[in-house]
Amino acid sequence: MSKCFTLQEAAGLLPQVGTLLREAVSLKSQHDEADQALQALAQRIALTGGMVVDRQTPLEIRNRRDQVAGRLKAALEEIQSLGVLVKDLDIGLIDFPTRFRGQEVYLCWKMGEPEIGFWHGVHEGYAGRKPIDQDFLTHHEGDKPH
């Protein structure tokens, strides 16, 4: 594990990471839309037996998709450079590695939540989220050496 966050460190990064995550989610949506437009165009061409196509339209869509892909990659790399794990861009889900009772776990935050209020084990994922309670706060080891 490279970076291990305290709850306070993770909370302090939320404004910056939240902005980057919202950008990444928007860019992914734009990328998906461009991809779907290209697929729909390819399907129309196939169904009409190779209709005459304005070559400019697919080139513009492909260029837009590729530009968005580059911006998306940059946003994800910036989030990851902070030590934060991007888990799901469809719902805007990230994890901050930390330690609890001597084990690596993740502080879990989903876009739209007011604060980091959940954690889960490394192999549990989103479905295994548990509320941060007093037991967690008492035994949370944050960035202590292991």
Q: Which of 122, 123, 117, 121 is nearest to 137 (CA)?
A: 117
Residues of the chain with pLDDT under 50: 1, 146
Residue 45: predicted pLDDT: 73
Would residue 137 count as lying in a domain?
no
Query: pLDDT, tens digit, for every residue of 69-89?
Result: 999 999 999 999 999 999 999
Question: Would you say residue 95 lies in a domain?
Answer: no
Residue 60 lies inside a defined structural domain of this protein: yes
**Host domain of residue 47:** 16-83
What is the maximum span of the chain, computed from C-alpha positions, in angstroms?
68
DSSP structure class, residue 133? -
Domain membership flag for residue 70 = yes
pLDDT value for 115 = 95
130 within some domain:
no
**3 state DSSP class of 129:** coil
CB atoms within 10 A of CB 80: 14
Q: What is the pLDDT of residue 47?
A: 78
Contact present, 44 and 54 (Cβ < 8 Å):
no
Residue 77 lies in a domain: yes
The structure's pTM equals 0.84
Q: Is residue 114 one of the residues assigned to a domain?
A: no
Whether residue 47 is contained in a domain is answered as yes
> What is the reported pLDDT for 2?
63
In angstroms, the CA 15 to CA 132 distance is 20
